């Protein structure tokens, strides 16, 4: 087993902040455009506009990919370099945990799960590596 010093984080370190305690609103920078990430399916990156047309209310927040819901999206802020998801934490113990962990800065990463659309992906090579562009 490699030492912890030998392990590196690959992908974004998103900004996760509590925007409103009373509204239970958090903001998650879940995608930096043009940054290559390593996934189980290989290397991938997202380009600006990848989430155009996405209904923010269809985005469910989980603290693990398959974990129970902790909140729901309410808006997506598209910036020139990234996408910010504005979400409301659920009024449940899981949502309370999400808020507390966001307050204390415990989140190390965010990862959107998504469905691909026909014609939505291309590929390019970066050096010898094939990268799926979404």
pTM: predicted TM-score of the whole model, two decimal places: 0.75
Q: How far is CA 75 from CA 24, 53, 55, 79, 127, in A?
A: 14, 11, 8, 13, 36
Tens of pLDDT, residue by residue over 18-70, are: 999 999 999 998 778 888 888 888 898 888 888 888 899 999 998 887 889 99
CA distance 3 to 14: 25
Task: Give the rounded percent of residues in the chain with a pLDDT score beyond 90.
Answer: 32
Residue closest to 73 by CA, chosen among 64, 82, 63, 60: 60
Give the span between the Cα atoms of 120 and 52, in whole angstroms: 12
Per-residue pLDDT reduced to its tens digit, 9-18: 444 455 788 9
Q: Is the pLDDT of residue 4 over 60?
A: no
DSSP conformational letter for 113: -
């Amino acid at each position: 087993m490699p030492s912890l010093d030998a392990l590196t984080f690959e992908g974004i370190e998103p900004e996760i902040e509590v925007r409103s305690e009373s509204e239970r609103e958090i903001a998650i920078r879940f995608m930096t455009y043009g940054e290559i990430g390593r996934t189980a399916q290989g290397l991938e990156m997202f380009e600006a506009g990848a989430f155009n047309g996405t209904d923010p209310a269809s985005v469910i927040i989980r603290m693990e990919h398959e974990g129970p819901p902790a909140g729901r999206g309410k808006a997506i802020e598209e910036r020139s370099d990234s996408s910010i998801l504005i979400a409301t934490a659920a009024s449940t113990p899981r949502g309370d945990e999400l808020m507390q962990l966001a307050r204390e800065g415990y989140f190390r990463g965010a990862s959107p799960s998504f469905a691909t659309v026909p014609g939505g992906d291309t590929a390019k090579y970066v050096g010898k590596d094939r990268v799926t562009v979404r």
